Structure 1
């Protein structure tokens, strides 16, 4: 892995590299790999809009073979991940998506809002008396993990092991793993799938109205129930997608606001700007920097020949800063007029099902933080550090000092 894309300095701050590619090599072939990075907004939209040309059966990340059932797993592995939502194409994908979309309906998401608000307040209540905390550890991580656990129907007492399973799955998507670490992540996935298998067995005996209960009642194409393998795979994808991406959103949003105090002041003075602040965080620091496709046929993109079978990474982290679409694209601007033109949730048939829930969590979190905290500050010498992952934009920590609302 010698391409600059994988270097630690690029992972830490990929945007100058993206800008160079957009200008000089907008469809860039990774050195030594049959993988093309698509960096301009218009080209990314084209790939997303043409599932008949660019298959989603390419895996969710750069190292997806470590998790996907398409790769040969050790013979003693009792579980495998099958194609349902994340790495699937129509017509099969269409049927699964229709089933799962019911769980993310506007009504069901809205019904979760009171719990999210209560959870945000509970977390703020635990902030230490001296006001010193790690925002990632003490707020950005526990909020979405608890929300998705409640959604799935998992007891909060299991949140610790759930975080480990989710983090291990996320690491595979874009990290550089040693063979030993790869084996650990595979074993972790087996534990996660086994856990969901047990929870499904419990719900067969005692039905529930949570997500796992919904899966047991679902019918594919109105004809047959989901198999256990299908339910386990959907549950796994829902956990990882519903947790890791929103952790990254909350962390990045807070860092962007703290680094742009004028914008923070505008949002604090006018809470109607909170939704735009959420969208700007999604745009400027895409929680998932890219999503993979595979060319079904020889094709051409921005003058570059893409051979059949090649993998194509839609680099939303670059598209979101394309000056052809976003004026002053590197500026965090809560008055931006086209904030939702970003591609962080994808577009078309694979648009993120959990987008509304993630946006709700970001909005509620910021509302409560601004209402409950008179001030929040970061050390001016703080240097952000990110997980060694070229796909997920994961801030390791964010030490801050807060002062709670005046008595």
Structure 2
């Protein structure tokens, strides 16, 4: 089988080498284990009950056996299976409703238009600072009932938590993660006390009320973990998806012009942006038991990486897969939100944020063009530019 060195700092999934490996087989080897390159197999394995997230194993594989990062990550909701996962997931489903998301849409639209207006003019702006970071942070704080004056305090922490999925890159990642986890746990503890004393119409208050009514439904420790995870998930992946959308349209200015003329295409544009430039280009799983998949023996404990970005350009699943086209009707679901019982709870809200943003930006501004260096991270983990100098029109 093909070998792809995903730990090489210069490695990029979007290369002829990778698509040649995809054409040859559904999987390839790598320094971190099996890479799943095709859509059908990645989708099936994400749903396969013989696979799990293995949070404890993931931490220990990267040399973390205790400490704040371990204590946050291992009991995270996505790392539970069975009854515990069903209990916590059921609690979240009751609080994170379609009604609540619909109620946020006017706020998302208002903020999108306000931030888009600030980007008007000929000068170069850092889109990450001016828009990509600000919008999901504001929406996350509105959702959870966090005061606007706390945005700048928690923003850096929530940004750093996404590094947990890039531990293989090394460097100072663990130090940054520990600082973020400690800061957010302290903040969330105060937030729970505040919502206990002064409940409001927000997601945090609903979860606190469930804990106060029955602590067997959700304990204080579980509540803290859920809120820290929500703070991270509602901000980091969406901010990167907004930034990645600009990268996609900078390479396809005609598509941006089309969207500006036809803003009704915004929802379809969201799906194409997520397919083409996902903020979660890889999703991992562990084999929970020995298994045989399509004639390939996979040992218990084996680490598999679903190469989302590559699979979402698989010509077996998508017509004209190598074209970025916001008018194309794609009839298969994106993989970056996961699948099955662990499908991302915030997928609908992320789509609302990206859709309202694209409509506001494209109807007001000309096509984005990159106006300076864009440092890139490695290919593993949540991904998007930390700096994105753009000029519009």
Does residue 4 (structure 1) correspond to residue 1 (structure 2)? The answer is no
Does residue 44 (structure 1) correspond to residue 34 (structure 2)? The answer is no
What residue number does 1:393 align with? 383
Q: What displacement does 1:384 show?
A: 4.1
Q: Secondary structure at the match of 1:387?
A: coil
What residue number does 2:51 align with? 54
Q: What displacement does 1:224 show?
A: 2.3
Question: How high is the TM-score relative to the length of structure 1?
Answer: 0.87
Map of 1:339-350 to 2, 5 A cutoff?
340-350=332-342
Query: How many matched pairs?
Result: 391
Map of 1:223-262 to 2, 5 A cutoff?
224-262=216-254
What residue number does 1:138 align with? 130
Q: What displacement does 1:104 show?
A: 2.5
Q: What displacement does 1:221 show?
A: 12
* 1:236-266 deviation line (CA, Å, top 9, x unaligned): 2212221111112211212212211222222
Q: Secondary structure at the match of 2:6?
A: helix
Map of 1:191-210 to 2, 5 A cutoff?
191-210=183-202
Task: Decide whether the 8 Å contact of 2:272 with 2:326 is kept in 1.
Answer: yes
Task: Decide whether the 8 Å contact of 2:4 with 2:28 is kept in 1.
Answer: no
Work out the CA distance in 2 between the residues paired with 1:115 and 1:232: 26
Question: How high is the TM-score relative to the length of structure 2?
Answer: 0.90
Q: What displacement does 1:208 show?
A: 2.4
Does residue 29 (structure 1) correspond to residue 29 (structure 2)? The answer is yes
Map of 1:288-307 to 2, 5 A cutoff?
288-307=280-299
User: In structure 2, do the counterparts of structure 1 residues 38 and 78 end up closer, same or farther at CA, with 3 Å as the change threshold?
Assistant: closer
Q: Secondary structure at the match of 2:193?
A: helix
Q: What displacement does 1:66 show?
A: 7.0
Task: Decide whether the 8 Å contact of 2:38 with 2:310 is kept in 1.
Answer: yes
Q: What displacement does 1:129 show?
A: 4.9
Work out the CA distance in 2 between the residues paired with 1:232 and 1:66: 24
Q: What displacement does 1:112 show?
A: 0.3
Work out the CA distance in 2 between the residues paired with 1:267 and 1:275: 10
Task: Decide whether the 8 Å contact of 2:4 with 2:29 is kept in 1.
Answer: no
User: In structure 2, do the counterparts of structure 1 residues 84 and 41 end up closer, same or farther at CA, with 3 Å as the change threshold?
Assistant: same
Does residue 218 (structure 1) correspond to residue 210 (structure 2)? The answer is yes
Work out the CA distance in 1 between the residues paired with 2:268 and 2:60: 33
**Could you list the runs of 5+ residues in structure 1 that have no partner in the other structure?**
none
Task: Decide whether the 8 Å contact of 1:95 with 1:220 is kept in 2.
Answer: no
**Could you list the runs of 5+ residues in structure 2 that have no partner in the other structure?**
none
Work out the CA distance in 2 between the residues paired with 1:160 and 1:355: 25
Task: Decide whether the 8 Å contact of 2:281 with 2:379 is kept in 1.
Answer: no
Q: What displacement does 1:280 show?
A: 0.7
Task: Decide whether the 8 Å contact of 1:387 with 1:393 is kept in 2.
Answer: yes
Task: Decide whether the 8 Å contact of 1:63 with 1:172 is kept in 2.
Answer: no
Task: Decide whether the 8 Å contact of 1:64 with 1:173 is kept in 2.
Answer: no
Work out the CA distance in 2 between the residues paired with 1:144 and 1:83: 25
